[in-house]
Structure 1
Amino acid sequence: MSRRTLAGGLAIAAALTLTALPATAEQQSVRFPSAKFPLGARPVPTKTMTTVAQGIDLYDVKAGTSTDGYTLTFLMPNGKDAGSSASAEAVAAEVEAAGETPSVQEVVRPAVADAAAQTVYMVRAGLWPLKDKKKADDRAKELKDAGLKVKVDYLGDDGLKTTGPWSAKVALIDVRTFRGSYAASLGTSVAKKETVSSMVKARKALLGVNGGFFNIHTSPALRGEPVGVSVVGGKLLSEAVPGRSAVVLKGRTAKITELKTTVTAISQDGEKVEVNGVNRAVTTDELLLYTEEFGAKTPAGGVDAVIDASNKVVALRASGAAVAAGTRVLHGNGVAADWLNEHAWQGWKVEIDTKVVDLRTKRALQLTPELNVIGGSVGLVRNGKVKITAKQDGHDSLNMILRRHPRTLLGTTKNGSLILATIDGRQPGVTVGANFVEAAQFMRWLGATQAINLDGGGSTAMVAGNKVVNHPSDGSERAVGDALLVLPQ
């Protein structure tokens, strides 16, 4: 069976080149770097700076040129883009039988700090320049009609060799001159999604970016719920995914770390029980805590213990009602409902003991009103070095590590300054986004000694002056679960 490789100006490389970036003194400051752009062929970027407020400079950064085009990718039997060599050869035989000349492409997903490199294989055919996407679409339709599973792929999204282009927004917040503070916002409720613009406007913030992942797999009424830790004004509103990266905000300080949360219900008869989650959907035999910020009814089919500010159980009721202001609700079903019926009698006291522990220092955070926490998705830079914790953070797939997507990034510098950045993507010929390795290199280039990836894709948004200043890949701003806000005071 014959095989050909994709060639010419739109060639695909089978490995990702890592650019070594020395940790210079300039990188450790909050000034915009003078070194060449760290991605692709390291072109000289163009930048335009706007002062948002004292201590906050916003840069519009552009680099690279467009040389990528389109190809056809044939799906493996499991529906994925890539698979084993044997699977790829079998698919290639089907493609060739349909009258198309396929190429089996070896792709190496690079190693990260907690996951080894992985070699997979893709089956591709055809090559069209950017202006001829319709021709690629037409050919894909013909092959689909012939019974093949095929899609049109823009090569700039692959995560392999590219010349770009890249379009980014970078906010440098200088700890020495900024006089405001940082906060987290879940909008009007935990359950409801809102745009970053809405949350910025409500708090009269100077700047805002989207926060962590939110649960798109739960019921539509609850999809604003963060997947991971959320603390707003000292109140735990969503439990941590143990060990996942997060940013701890207090006043005008920001610290990147990993967190663990524990919530324990303690009845006045001395019985204790673990609370399995906070402000989310419940599963069988779980005990959950719902706060007044939840913004939805507790789940039906269980028992609710309504607890007032003095930890007194003011009602033991059938579940499925709202959480009243000034109260919290312990909800249980199955064995958890049994615990409530036995140890949360009306008139008794049930204390809710909440701990948020910094896993780097092994110390509990003080849950004071100025404390805010936003969960990240993947650690990128630690102590000045690239350290991508994709597996630990639940994102060690080919799509998440290697392919390029829009990114929202957060970093801190050696002197405690904050860097917020968005890299737009999924816009062929305009901007290609970044993979995890490129995102880490980009943040090191900007001077971050610690950095994490927040939610990205269509959620990526930066708002300044009450305007969305980047270009979200959905074509308009998406409603999200939470946001990081930069406040004037």
Structure 2
Amino acid sequence: MSRRTLAGGLAIAAAVTVTTLPAASVAAEQVAVAFPSARFPLGARPVPTKTMTAVTQGIDFYQVKAGSSTDGYTVTVLMPSGRDYGAQATAENVAAEVEAAGETPSVQQVIRPSVADAPSQTVYMVRVGMWSLKDKKEADKTAKALKEAGLKVKVDYLGDDGMKTTGPWDVKVVMIDSRTFRGSYAASLGTSVAKRETVSSMAKAAGAIVGVNGGFFNIHTAKNLRGEPVGASVVGGRLLSEAVPGRSAVVLQGRTARITEIGTTVTVVSQDGEKVKANGVNRAAATDELILYTEEYGAKTPAGGTDAVLDPAGKVLGLRASGAAIAKGTRVLHGNGLAADWLNQHAWQDWTIRVDTRVEDLRTGKALKLTPDLHVIAGSVGLVRNGQVKITAKRDGHDSVNMILRRHPRTLLGVTRNGSLILATIDGRQPGVTVGANFHEAAQFMRWLGARQAINLDGGGSTAMVVNDKLVNRPSDGVERGVGDSLLILPK
């Protein structure tokens, strides 16, 4: 990738190194899941230091460190849009404002690399100065002066950029051998769908050996509902959140795990033969939507509509004004607008309503049987498919510069050729301690560990790994964050 300085001073190479790794030995994959002996796959491929703990039969836990700190700080000037990057002409205009304020800017060309479903993107950033890790206060002074001149700026740690770095990296890895592990895998939403809860809490309540955070949760809804997963969630064979069509997910059953894409449909059929598709499960309702709420929701239905309360057999116990809790042993069909009209016409008291739920594996086109041992957790982005890097950022809604190129804490899940499970966290946003990873680096890392299939789960401040009731990584928020769901490794 290229470097271009358009206005004096600082010039920073915008480059992402994508290392082609040899495919893992088929024979080795069939024997066991094992930590690689090769050099660490990121940066200058340093020799990692690692410690291994045998957690229980079939589960090994590795603490890995690699690389060293050489990155420092710069001041980034924001564009009129509020973003830290923009078109070249916009960046040049912002650079002129910086010069007028008495500082020397650099216009940096940044190439967001291509992924499997989106081409590369070229953008421009305006930056001022470069300081070592220990001189952040000097960067803060320059930022303050620019703010006083009327510019919007922020101080950036260069290790977060996603460009060339030496690290360091602080990684935790759990390897679960499919041949010898005798427990099972499960998803947990904690005490309710609506409420956020820490992985530590969910793992302790379930008696889990290992737990990691699951997929994204909805931060754009009411505060008391933000535990709701964004994507498919199946717990114990019950669909508790609908899929984002085509989004990557992990399907767990017993002690097997596989990665695929999931679709869900919920069809409501009245006793009079009329049918309608529900728009969602256990989430806030938009105008004219029909939403299915289960007893796991843990919050009241939205006000301003109609609720049809169903018993376990689908009998309508009654219609009521919405805004009440879901009683244990019941489900509620909630509608407003046109959906409320449908309920008033086709969900009469003592009628039977059939709710047909289909969870489909989109790779095979087959429905998953909703048995008590079935669990599904939505991922955020596909990383590796059939042993090759295949990053599906656009399909999964994450094809921005911030998501693809920048480094963040990551929670990663992979499956080896013989069906063994790999869970990993890469801590980040801790200057001088650990830099995290971008999508390409995360994919390289999972291939290095032996994953033939891999996905990115939620990351950032949500990244958490718990082993034997102990939080083993260092969340970037400084404390463990409440999340929507978790993946748990159970002893039975």
Query: Within 5 Å, which residues of 2 pair with 1:390-409?
Result: 390-409=393-412
Q: Which residue of 2 aligns with 1:116?
A: 119
* TM superposition shift of 1:2: 7.3
Preserved contact between residue 6 and residue 108 of structure 2 (Cα < 8 Å): no
Deviations 1:205-242 (A, max 9, x none): 00000000001110011000001100000000000000
State which drifts further: 427-436 or 28-37: 28-37
Q: Tell me whether 1:13 sits opposite 2:13 in the alignment.
A: yes
Q: Tell me whether 1:183 sits opposite 2:148 in the alignment.
A: no
Q: Tell me whether 1:317 sits opposite 2:347 in the alignment.
A: no
1-structure distance, mates of 2:106, 2:140: 18
Q: Which residue of 2 aligns with 1:367?
A: 370
Preserved contact between residue 309 and residue 319 of structure 2 (Cα < 8 Å): yes
Deviations 1:125-180 (A, max 9, x none): 10110001111112101110111111100000000000000000000000001000
Q: Which residue of 2 aligns with 1:480?
A: 483
Query: Within 5 Å, which residues of 2 pair with 1:191-206?
Result: 191-206=194-209
- One-letter code aligned to 2:394: K
Q: Which residue of 1 aligns with 2:352?
A: 349
Q: Give me the identity figure in percent.
A: 77
For residue 319 of structure 2, give the secondary structure of its aligned residue in structure 1.
strand
Q: Which residue of 2 aligns with 1:224?
A: 227
Residue among 440, 443, 458 paired with 1:440? 443
2-structure distance, mates of 1:487, 1:14: 44
For residue 338 of structure 1, give the secondary structure of its aligned residue in structure 2.
helix
Q: Tell me whether 1:104 sits opposite 2:104 in the alignment.
A: no
Q: Which residue of 1 aligns with 2:433?
A: 430
- One-letter code aligned to 1:48: T
- One-letter code aligned to 1:122: M
2-structure distance, mates of 1:14, 1:411: 29
Preserved contact between residue 9 and residue 104 of structure 2 (Cα < 8 Å): no
- One-letter code aligned to 2:139: A
- One-letter code aligned to 1:73: T
Preserved contact between residue 5 and residue 105 of structure 1 (Cα < 8 Å): no
Preserved contact between residue 243 and residue 260 of structure 1 (Cα < 8 Å): yes
Can you give the 5+ residue segments of structure 1 that lack an aligned partner in the other structure? none
Q: Which residue of 2 aligns with 1:326?
A: 329
Deviant stretches of 4+, over 3 Å: 26-29
1-structure distance, mates of 2:453, 2:34: 16
For residue 88 of structure 1, give the secondary structure of its aligned residue in structure 2.
helix
Preserved contact between residue 231 and residue 242 of structure 2 (Cα < 8 Å): yes
Preserved contact between residue 388 and residue 436 of structure 1 (Cα < 8 Å): yes
Q: Which residue of 2 aligns with 1:80?
A: 83
RMSD of aligned Cα (Å): 1.0
Preserved contact between residue 110 and residue 122 of structure 2 (Cα < 8 Å): yes
2-structure distance, mates of 1:398, 1:411: 24
* TM superposition shift of 1:14: 1.5
Preserved contact between residue 199 and residue 464 of structure 2 (Cα < 8 Å): yes
TM-score by length of 1: 0.98
TM-score by length of 2: 0.98
Q: Which residue of 2 aligns with 1:3?
A: 7
Residue among 158, 163, 176 paired with 1:160? 163
- One-letter code aligned to 1:132: D
Deviations 1:351-384 (A, max 9, x none): 0000000000100000000000000000000000
Preserved contact between residue 184 and residue 485 of structure 1 (Cα < 8 Å): yes
2-structure distance, mates of 1:232, 1:276: 20
Residues paired across the two proteins, number: 485
2-structure distance, mates of 1:399, 1:466: 33
Residue among 244, 269, 273 paired with 1:270? 273
2-structure distance, mates of 1:453, 1:4: 39
Residue among 219, 238, 245 paired with 2:248? 245
Query: Within 5 Å, which residues of 2 pair with 1:263-302?
Result: 263-302=266-305
2-structure distance, mates of 1:130, 1:479: 31
- One-letter code aligned to 1:432: V
Can you give the 5+ residue segments of structure 2 that lack an aligned partner in the other structure? none
